[in-house]
Amino acid sequence: MANRGISVEVFTRATSSDQPPAAELAPGVLVRHIPAGPFEPLGRDELPAQLCAFTSGVLRAEAFHEPGYYDVIHSHYWLSGQVGWLARDRWGVPLVHTAHTLAKVKNAALAEGDKPEPRTRVFGEEQVVAEADCLVANTPVEARQLVSLYDADPHSVHIVAPGVDLERFTPGSRDAARDRFGLPRDAVVLAFAGRIQPLKAPDVLLHAAAHLLQRRPGLRDRLVVLVVGGPSGTGLEQPQALRELAVALGIEGQTRFLPPQPGERLAEVYRAADVVAVPSYNESFGLVALEAQACGTPVVAAEVGGLPVAVAHGVSGLLVPSHAAQDWAAALASVALRPDRRAELGANAVQHARRFSWQRTTDALLDTYAAAAHSFRNAVRAEVAV
């Protein structure tokens, strides 16, 4: 956005007293740290009590500018949508909202051990859907969910695929990447990257690997299952449970755990892998799948949420319609153990990922902002006419 000459201000809750009230992240991108509650992280269930404080800080920030400075509000996640609703009323500018995840969708696809989203979030999401001038959906599936589950006006929903950082996630040497992590060059590497939580289902990859080793014991010395990621929220116990599962499955010798990796090292993880597995029970978009493909690595993904858009089945990877170990073992083997197929899918994957550039995302968002401004003006005219 800033590269197109558009000023961006990001409002976020201050979580440390070190943070300045405003910081320039890049030319044209200002991050405002709004004091709202203590200077420390708050749990998601604790944040609603800070909605008024955060709103007060956002509204007061406008005093730094001439009235009418902002042209559009784009809120992300339902809590920000609530704040955006009040700012929209105050400033008289359109509200565009991206939900990112939806409580009704999450609750309909709960993995065992996942806590359902509270109904207060459902109410809050419904309100923001009703109030927003335009909604941004990451995928056609999410657009349909907004209409069917949240009663969104279909005309207000715009599909804008998130962008992948195609400068950071590029094809590169697999051997060099493996050297970096101390992985044998002749290993068969199956990778998972993401939060260690039931929804992301890293256990499916472990079960599939164990299944594969049962059918092909000869792979035992070459197979590496690489699990990259940390716990989600309060789930500190989950990585430990995953280690215990590896032991129980007899694949602790084949499984390697790494903490979350910063961007450049994450690209190396993808390059080091023969296949990246995305076995989630739900995924609004599936950024990991696109990042891996941008690095030239085929993806085997669950056929849920936005993943059928992110992965072109049989072209840039495979979609698996179940979470059964034998299905995943077969799909992973059909890519990872056939070098020619892996190479073809990998080359296609790079092309496929290029369709999800930041450039394209920015174009689509600007179209959405224009549509929201149009719809907002019409709504104001209709009110005046009444």
What element of type H or E holds 211? helix 202-215
Alpha carbon distance 276, 205 (integer Å) = 10
Question: Among residues 83, 205, 212, 349, which is the contact residue for its own copies, using CB under 8 A?
Answer: 83
Does 86 help bind its own copies (rule: CB under 8 A)? yes
Residue (89 or 237) nearer to its own copies, CB: 89
| HSE-up of residue 235 (Cα within 13 Å, Cβ side) | 19
Does 121 help bind its own copies (rule: CB under 8 A)? yes
Residue (42 or 241) nearer to its own copies, CB: 42
Does 94 help bind its own copies (rule: CB under 8 A)? no
Residues sharing a CB contact under 8 Å with residue 117, sequence separation 6 or more, in sequence order: 103, 106, 107
Residue 224 structure tokens: 């590496």
Does 214 help bind its own copies (rule: CB under 8 A)? no
Identify whether the C-beta of residue 2 lies closer than 8 Å to the C-beta of residue 25. no
Question: Among residues 48, 172, 235, 260, which is the contact residue for its own copies, using CB under 8 A?
Answer: 48
Degrees to nearest 5, angle at CA 98 with 146 and 267: 115
Does 120 help bind its own copies (rule: CB under 8 A)? yes
Alpha carbon distance 124, 78 (integer Å) = 7
| Residue entry with tokens 């604790």 | 46
Does 242 help bind its own copies (rule: CB under 8 A)? no
Binding residue numbers for 1D-myo-inositol 3-phosphate: 44, 77, 101, 121
Question: Among residues 1, 9, 118, 327, which is the contact residue for its own copies, using CB under 8 A?
Answer: 118
Does 234 help bind its own copies (rule: CB under 8 A)? no
Count of positions on this chain that bind its own copies (CB under 8 A): 28
Does 42 help bind its own copies (rule: CB under 8 A)? yes
Does 124 help bind its own copies (rule: CB under 8 A)? yes
Alpha carbon distance 55, 69 (integer Å) = 17
| Least distance to its own copies, CB of residue 73, Å | 13
Alpha carbon distance 125, 114 (integer Å) = 20
Does 15 help bind its own copies (rule: CB under 8 A)? no
* Residue range at the interface with its own copies (CB under 8 A); choices 44-52, 179-187, 263-271, 277-285: 44-52
Does 60 help bind its own copies (rule: CB under 8 A)? yes
Does 71 help bind its own copies (rule: CB under 8 A)? no
φ, ψ at 137 (rounded to 5°): -105, 140
Q: Strand (E) positions, 71-217?
A: 73-76, 95-98, 134-137, 157-159, 188-193
Chain residues that interact with its own copies, rule: CB under 8 A: 37-38, 42, 45-46, 48-53, 55-56, 59-60, 82-83, 85-86, 89-90, 118-121, 123-124, 127
